[in-house]
Amino acid sequence: MKRKPGPKSVFAVVAVLVLLIGFGPNARFALEEGQGGGLGSPPATAVPDPGQGGKFVVWDKSELVKAYNERMKALVEAFGRKYGIEAEYVALGPGELKTKLQAAFDAGNVPDLVIGDAALEKPFVSQRRLVEVSGLLRQLPLLPVALRFTEVQDASGGQYLIPQAFALSGAYVRKDWWAQAGLPLPSTWLELREQARLLAQPGSGVYPLGLSLSANGTEGESLVRDVVLAWGGQFVDANNRVAVNTPQTLEALRFLASLYEERLVPPEALTWDDAGNNNAYLRGQVGLIINAGSVYNLLEQSDPQLRANTALAPKPGGPAGSPVFGSGSAFILPVGGSNPAAAKRFVREFYEQPVYGEVVETMGGTWQPVTAAGAGTAFWTALVNPAAGWLKMTSGVVGPDSYPGTEEEPSLKGRNQKLGIKAVQRMISGKMDARRSLDELERELRALYGQ
């Protein structure tokens, strides 16, 4: 009988897979200048010394996990003391960070370093208000796969984001429901549907799945595109040509519609806002949702028992494997900051061990490292940290949600118009044939992309 690998060996394998799978188009950043795949500490001389005196201002987004902001504030202040610089750390609400940064640019008084969601920089790249950082990226111990969700380029191929951490959405599973039925945690969408059929309780008001397909929020569109990707489909190809009308996309849409037609999801999920699936999970109405790490943090405060009964599993895969649209947090350097040398040196030192690993760990596993910091550590073994399951998803990151296309503006418009949701809802509520609905989706996308 073969012995099952223990947690440490499993995560060692995951780390190796991350490195191997990560060598895609972005691997040039890691391989140039002898960086050896992004591992190892760059030389201290790679970034200029910020010198003595002056000021260093960092703006960051506030997190539900207060320990993160406290840790970052302490790092910024310690950096200031180390170099004799007046250091200031400001935590802003995610909704106000972009607005305040725009106002700071207009007033000519910007911070030296900004930390936010990867989408934060998009309007500022076209305005030429961010410092190009490809040289700095080559000096950091980043996993090549990490660069996939922050590859934002201008026409000349310049880079403007430095990945801080992955913040991937995954599955929240009522492990007590699954255990009572003698079921393993689902690894594929098809397996999940079979399990949901076994867990269904018709007429009880309780449902196995809490998957939103509502135009009143953003999560439903992400769900559709996740499933299409897992089936090997795509909305556009790498040349931004509409390529949605394929057998793979057709089967993905049919699969999604079946979950609602078989009443494995609450009917009201077709009209939920983005809090709908969270609330359904919190009140025990559903047994599985797909969401970001914020829900896990809320569970710790509001319902520790439910948190204990919750497993964090990777997002299910499909016939095409387990590809994942990347997302996360990133650094940007605004043009016009008073101390760009301090900003670059702070970023370089941020990734040093054990500092970097400790910062990511403050998020309780709902952030995943963009370096090898998670390989083989006690925190990232499933026996210690149930969120460790999400670490596995990092090896499957393929790019931002416009992947494989590169034109982010029409992709964002398509998401805002909820074109994927409308395609499935036509099948569920409108009883439209799947092929006709897919044809309509193709026409909508061609109009959007001017094709």
Separation between Cα atoms, residue 266 and residue 263, nearest integer Å: 7
Same domain, 96 and 214: no
Same domain, 42 and 107: yes
In a domain, 413, yes or no: yes
Q: How confident is the model at residue 158 (pLDDT cuts 50, 70, 90)?
A: confident
Q: Where are the beta strands (DSSP E) in 194-306?
A: 288-291
Same domain, 227 and 131: no
The per-residue pLDDT for range 101-132, each reduced to its tens digit, is 999 999 999 999 999 988 777 778 777 899 99
Separation between Cα atoms, residue 343 and residue 347, nearest integer Å: 6
Same domain, 41 and 125: yes
Same domain, 179 and 154: no
Kindly give, in sequence order, each residue whose CB lies less than 8 Å from that of residue 368, ignoring residues fewer than 6 positions away.
165, 166, 167, 168, 328, 360, 374, 390, 391, 393, 394
- Asked if residue 166 has pLDDT above 90, the reply is yes
Q: How confident is the model at residue 18 (pLDDT cuts 50, 70, 90)?
A: very low
Question: Given this model, what pLDDT does residue 442 score?
Answer: 98
Same domain, 252 and 280: yes
Question: Given this model, what pLDDT does residue 121 score?
Answer: 72
Same domain, 81 and 147: yes
The per-residue pLDDT for range 350-396, each reduced to its tens digit, is 999 889 999 999 998 889 999 988 777 888 876 556 667 788 899 89
In a domain, 1, yes or no: no
In a domain, 335, yes or no: yes
Distance of CA 117 to the CA centre of its chain: 9
In a domain, 392, yes or no: no
Same domain, 149 and 194: no
- Asked if residue 35 has pLDDT above 50, the reply is no
The per-residue pLDDT for range 312-328, each reduced to its tens digit, is 899 999 999 999 998 89
- Asked if residue 48 has pLDDT above 70, the reply is no
The per-residue pLDDT for range 227-269, each reduced to its tens digit, is 999 999 999 999 999 999 999 999 999 999 999 999 999 999 9
Q: How many domains does the chain have?
A: 2
Percent of the chain residues past pLDDT 70, beyond the cut: 86
- Asked if residue 83 has pLDDT above 50, the reply is yes
- Give me the chain's average pLDDT, please: 85
In a domain, 206, yes or no: yes
CA neighbor of 18 nearest in space, from 371, 402, 316, 389:
371
Separation between Cα atoms, residue 158 and residue 131, nearest integer Å: 9
**pTM reported for the whole predicted model:** 0.82
In a domain, 396, yes or no: no
Same domain, 408 and 269: yes
CATH number of the domain to which 280 belongs: 3.40.190.10
Instruction: Give the pLDDT mean for 182-204.
Output: 96
Same domain, 13 and 124: yes
Domain holding 24, by residue range, is 8-168+326-381
**399: enclosing H helix or E strand:** strand 397-399
Residue 325: beta bridge partners?
399
